[in-house]
Amino acid sequence: MSKRPLILVTNDDGITAPGLRTLISVMHTIGDVVVVAPDSPQSAMGHAITINSTLHIEKVNIDGKQPEYACSGTPADCVKLAVNEILDRRPDICVSGINHGSNSSINVIYSGTMSAALEAGIEGIPAIGFSLLDYNWNADFEHCKLFIETITKEVLKHGLSDGVVLNVNIPNKKQGKLRGIKVCRQARANWKEEFDKRTNPMGRDYYWLTGSFVNMDNGEDTDEWALANGYVSVVPVQFDLTAHHAIKSINTWNLND
Amino acid sequence: MSKRPLILVTNDDGITAPGLRTLISVMHTIGDVVVVAPDSPQSAMGHAITINSTLHIEKVNIDGKQPEYACSGTPADCVKLAVNEILDRRPDICVSGINHGSNSSINVIYSGTMSAALEAGIEGIPAIGFSLLDYNWNADFEHCKLFIETITKEVLKHGLSDGVVLNVNIPNKKQGKLRGIKVCRQARANWKEEFDKRTNPMGRDYYWLTGSFVNMDNGEDTDEWALANGYVSVVPVQFDLTAHHAIKSINTWNLND
């Protein structure tokens, strides 16, 4: 058995995405790599899983450098299949990405990239989601590599608390030389939807979801602040969604009269 | 303009689901009801949204008692469409459910029902997801009604803190007379997956996702404890996923050397 860590690599943009291929190349400098990724893009899938239809796994050979499996399901499905059906032993870490586009602040909720990392976290595996603030399929990922290597090695060295995974976002190359890595909280932000209403050739209305991003948070300890100021943002993310601070006041309500 | 609250009702089991029809009937005792729900079941969709395909809205008449719209998207899409395209004014509250099946503990992450409530919360609308611990399509929802009415009225009276929505689960009718409502935290639990591997008539392998639920949390302040002991569980849920407690220790790592 290899002494090198076993690294599960996945994403939500699909197994041929340049962001994934970059992540694989970085992981080869750290450990033994197995790829289990969706066979087609799964962006904005949130934490969907496939329970009402079947799942397929295809062993594929893309560059001959590591075992790779294309899966018909969502990113969360890929992690479940990897851990339970594909891998001989539990991976030492799961990395997801590099996503083509931001998963900062509220985007974490909609993110397939982060859903894979969260699923690994639920299974007790240290996990990181990486995203680049560039939606372009041919984005330049070169400046991401050193940051990804540093963060992954630190996670392997220190571990992560139970129930915690990391959400890492990296500024666009165009932003110039980066200032470093900053540990942040998730900014309070949302999307202001604008549905683009159209009429199809049969006369029926349909809609495209579009919108603009609104950051309502002025804090300098947020991921949005860090990214706007040239830092790589690292947000520790949990899947205990309990709003512990709200329990006390709700207990004063008349719920049992 | 009506002085009665405007109530947006949605779900993830689809617009004809008995759980939704029960929830509508309870909401008529409280306010004016508009239904915007998926035109087909969307269970386990997590917080998916539709960005790479089109959305359709169909005005439908199921029982003639309230305006109803069937939407082609996910539960989160339904809320976005309701707020931005369908409703004349912002709803005073959004209720989602009654889900046919549990959304307690880790299930909140996979839940379409809760995704609708979270989406409303992100839009700043007080929101509650209701679920019954019975997966049967013809489950008996009668014992849920009074609890749902009480909780909804208390939310309308007190409001909810910014960024907080409620996850309400109700024991199965078979559990007998319920002991009341308990405000809880989300239990630490997960699913132990067991993939059911089969071979299709063309000789190709495929998988069904199955599994068993494992509660690893002995706390008596959890939703799992409450439900097992005959209480309706109310967990305040947040969409700030930051693991604030983890920031300090990660800041001791060598991230910027």
Q: Which residues of A touch B115 (CB under 8 A)?
A: 46
Nearest to B237 among A108, A205, A241 (CB): A241
CA distance B232 to B15: 25
**What SS3 class is residue B243?**
coil
Nearest to B43 among A51, A161, A255 (CB): A51
**pLDDT, greater one: B138 or A44:** B138
Q: Which residues of A touch B126 (CB under 8 A)?
A: none
Contact B122 A190 (CB under 8 A): yes
Residue with tokens 């209720």: B95
Searching chain B, which residue's CA lies closest to the CA of residue A51?
A: B209
CA distance B197 to B206: 6
Q: Flag whether pLDDT at A1 surpasses 60.
A: no
DSSP A188-222: -EEEEEEEEEEE-TTS-EEEEEEEEEEE----TTB
Give start and end residues of each alpha helix (H) in B123-250. Answer: 145-158, 223-228, 244-250
Mean pLDDT score of chain A: 94
pLDDT digits (tens, 9 = 90+) for A96-105: 999 999 999 9
CA distance B66 to chain A (A): 22
Contact B161 A245 (CB under 8 A): yes
Q: Which residues of A touch B151 (CB under 8 A)?
A: 255
Architecture of domain A6-188+219-250: 3-Layer(aba) Sandwich (3.40)
Q: Which residues of A touch B253 (CB under 8 A)?
A: 154, 157-158
Binding residues of A for a divalent metal cation, by number, are 12-13, 43, 99
Per-residue pLDDT of chain B (257 residues; tens, 9 = 90+): 458 999 999 999 999 999 999 999 999 999 999 999 999 888 777 778 888 788 999 999 999 999 999 999 999 999 999 999 999 999 999 999 999 999 999 999 999 999 999 999 999 999 999 999 999 999 999 999 999 999 999 999 999 999 999 999 999 999 899 999 999 999 999 888 888 999 998 888 999 888 889 999 999 999 999 999 999 999 999 999 999 999 999 999 999 97
pLDDT digits (tens, 9 = 90+) for A156-195: 999 999 999 999 999 999 989 999 999 999 999 988 888 8
> What are the CA-CA distances from residue B101 to residues A102, A143, B200 (Å)?
33, 46, 30
Domain B6-250 adopts which CATH fold? Stationary-phase Survival Protein Sure Homolog; Chain: A, (3.40.1210)
Structure tokens at A165: 């995974």
